């Protein structure tokens, strides 16, 4: 039974639809869903499509009486009510066109509360919200839209998209009855959307699906749009898309890209104008890096309250800032979805709360590093490109490891920033090598070489109580790791060694080397791997975690990180075959590799 107070804020039908959508998103396996959306897609063809696409979200349009009603409705369905919202220009214009209204009279917002799939994978419910107060003349519109569900759709993200893959996917969907139904390119997150009408025989209630491909694929998009039936008469043929940029992307993908909500309509804007606008946004991306770093440095997320909006003046008194200047920063942060603003003041979004120091998976250390010493060294990128020498060394006169060792506070921030990317480790405790070690008779030992504060080792020990661990690190890092692992309840199964790569213990069954090799040139990597090869028993396995450069021009975080390593460490990212050659030179063999989140991979290595 829906409480009366809730029913006045969000209609019972909308609560029911929200709850059903959330349950749908949680329950679906990608291959099964693809076979339901496209009947006849099965066998090898289904496996090929499922290998390239993963179910990302389902969308619907709801009609709250006011923002509190929407938050209550989300909470009633077990969805986060602090995810923040932004205007949805596309849906607003489509609804206005369908009903012959002035788009300026409609207030449509977009939210993406997170849900998790059957295996814990991160997904979302894409909620479009059109405010319809009680007794509003828009009430009849709401009834019509609920009945027809024009904005409901399913979305699949394309992994490692390239033109050949996208053409193949589009051809496969067309072969099984899907029809081109619009799309768009978002320059703010560099992603392309292809919409399709699902075939008449689809076995779901959704009549629209979306393929999302990272990167600029406007040449293929033009082909896709040309295939629409009667596109000149289609009121939903807007080339815009409302894909939001998450903080993890702002920090982990491209600190130089400023997200926003104003998207370009390719059919109405000259290519030169589009190019100039895109380039301008890229050029001003440094402002985003500094805004996020300043937000973290001021501890604005700690001063903000998710329950009680606070004014710029109130926040300025708490963090020690000029009210007018802080107001300017807060408005920019609102554009980034780090905070949300209403008539009563500012509140943090889920993105903003990730900048709190005490947040689970806090990204505050990353913000401080990327907005601090690494930001300063990037001013010397030209020097790095001309000479091949790190801009960091040119600026500070020494290698970043040596520089951080001279400043304990900076060193601690760097170590915490490494732990902030721990979401890439989530699948590693269930890696076959680790589970096999845990299941083997007798005591088994996992040795984490240069393992930082023990984030990865702690996850593995927590998942597998039979295992014991050894962490090899520098003295100040060992002290921090001991505190961390003790606090998580696995410290009694972990020993600690102070030393360098030459001091790798020889008694391990599984060795870990996470995000180490990319810090160094090939000569130093061969030396590090030589120490490991000599220490490893013949039966031991080595798991190496790194980002792999793609073999082609596919967009990848590794490509961005390759530039970062050039400028800041003198290291580099590598392709799988380049790592294989380094392993070979040290008497090791690359057995295989598996993908991890954030474009990382775990490489399985054994002695020859």
Distance CA 4, CA 12 (A): 10
Picking from 325, 243, 340, the residue whose alpha carbon sits closest to that of residue 291 is 325
Measured in whole angstroms, the distance separating CA 463 from the mean position of its chain's CA atoms is 24
Sequence-distant (6+) residues with CB within 8 A of 148 are none
Of 431, 518, 564, 593, the active-site residue reads 518
Clarify whether 518 is annotated catalytic: yes
C-alpha atoms less than 13 angstroms from C-alpha of 299 in its C-beta half-sphere? 8
Q: Which residue has the tokens 């289609």?
A: 234
Buried b (16+ CB within 10 A) or exposed e, 201-240: ebeeebbbbbbbbbbbbbebbeebbeebeeeeeeebbbbb
Which residues on neighbouring strands pair with residue 293, listed in sequence order?
none
Backbone angles phi, psi at 133, to 5 degrees: -65, 160
Picking from 120, 364, 347, 338, the residue whose alpha carbon sits closest to that of residue 244 is 338
Distance CA 469, CA 465 (A): 11
Distance CA 259, CA 336 (A): 6
Q: What are the DSSP E strand ranges found in 365-455?
A: 444-449
- Contact present, 65 and 131 (Cβ < 8 Å): yes
Sequence-distant (6+) residues with CB within 8 A of 539 are 509
Q: Kindly tell me the number of DSSP H helices and DSSP E strands found in the chain.
A: 28, 18
**Residues with catalytic function:** 518
């Amino acid at each position: 039974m829906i409480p009366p107070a809730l029913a006045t804020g969000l209609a019972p039908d909308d609560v029911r639809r929200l709850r059903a959508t959330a349950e749908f998103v949680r329950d679906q396996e990608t291959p099964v869903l693809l076979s339901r959306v496209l009947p006849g897609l099965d066998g090898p063809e289904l496996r090929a499509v499922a290998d390239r696409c993963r179910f990302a979200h389902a969308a619907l349009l709801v009609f709250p009486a006011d923002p509190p009603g929407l938050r209550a409705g989300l909470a009633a369905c077990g969805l986060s009510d602090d995810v923040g919202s932004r205007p949805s220009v596309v849906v607003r214009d489509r609804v206005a066109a369908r009903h012959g209204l002035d788009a300026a009279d409609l207030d449509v917002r977009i939210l993406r509360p997170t849900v998790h799939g059957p295996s814990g994978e991160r997904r979302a419910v894409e909620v479009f919200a059109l405010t319809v107060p009680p007794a509003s003349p828009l009430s009849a519109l709401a009834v019509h839209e609920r009945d027809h569900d024009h904005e409901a759709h399913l979305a699949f993200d394309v992994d490692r998209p390239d033109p050949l893959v996208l053409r193949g996917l589009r051809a496969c969907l067309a072969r099984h009855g899907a029809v081109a139904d619009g799309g768009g390119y978002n320059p703010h997150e560099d992603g392309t959307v292809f919409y399709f009408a699902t075939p008449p025989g689809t076995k779901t209630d959704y009549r629209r699906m979306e393929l999302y491909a990272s990167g600029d694929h406007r040449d293929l998009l033009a082909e896709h749009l040309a295939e629409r039936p009667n596109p000149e008469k289609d009121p939903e043929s807007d080339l815009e898309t409302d894909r939001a940029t998450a903080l993890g992307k702002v920090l982990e993908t491209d600190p130089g890209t400023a997200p926003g909500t104003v998207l370009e309509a390719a059919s109405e804007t000259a290519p030169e104008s589009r190019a100039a606008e895109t380039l301008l946004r890229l050029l001003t991306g440094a402002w985003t890096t500094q805004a996020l770093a300043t937000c973290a440095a001021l501890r604005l997320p700690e001063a903000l309250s998710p329950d009680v909006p606070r004014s710029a003046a109130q926040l300025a008194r708490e963090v020690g800032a000029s009210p007018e200047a802080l107001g300017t920063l807060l408005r920019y942060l609102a554009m980034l979805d780090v905070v949300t603003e209403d008539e009563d003041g500012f509140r943090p979004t889920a993105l903003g709360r990730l900048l709190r120091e005490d947040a689970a998976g806090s990204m505050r250390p990353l913000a401080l590093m990327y907005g601090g010493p690494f930001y300063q060294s990037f001013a010397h990128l030209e020097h790095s490109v001309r000479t091949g020498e790190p801009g960091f060394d040119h600026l500070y006169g020494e290698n970043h490891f040596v520089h951080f060792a001279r400043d304990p506070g900076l060193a601690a921030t760097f170590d915490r920033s490494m732990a902030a990317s721990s979401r890439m480790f989530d699948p590693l405790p269930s890696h076959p090598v680790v589970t096999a070690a845990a299941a083997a008779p007798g005591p088994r030992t996992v040795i984490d070489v240069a393992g930082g504060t023990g984030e990865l080792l702690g996850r593995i020990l927590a998942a597998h109580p039979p295992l014991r661990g050894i962490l090899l690190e520098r003295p100040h890092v060992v002290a921090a790791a001991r505190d961390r692992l003790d606090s998580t309840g696995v410290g009694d199964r972990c020993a600690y060694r102070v030393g360098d790569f030459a001091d790798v213990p020889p008694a391990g069954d599984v060795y870990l080397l996470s995000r180490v090799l990319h810090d160094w040139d090939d000569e130093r990597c061969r030396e590090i791997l030589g120490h490991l090869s000599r220490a490893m028993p013949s039966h031991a396995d080595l798991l190496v975690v790194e980002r792999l450069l793609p073999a082609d021009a596919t967009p990848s975080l590794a490509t961005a990180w390759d530039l970062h390593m050039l400028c800041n460490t003198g290291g580099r990212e590598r392709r799988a075959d380049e790592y294989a050659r380094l392993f070979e030179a040290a008497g090791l063999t690359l057995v295989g590799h598996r993908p991890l989140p954030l474009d990382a991979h775990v490489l399985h290595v054994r002695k020859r």
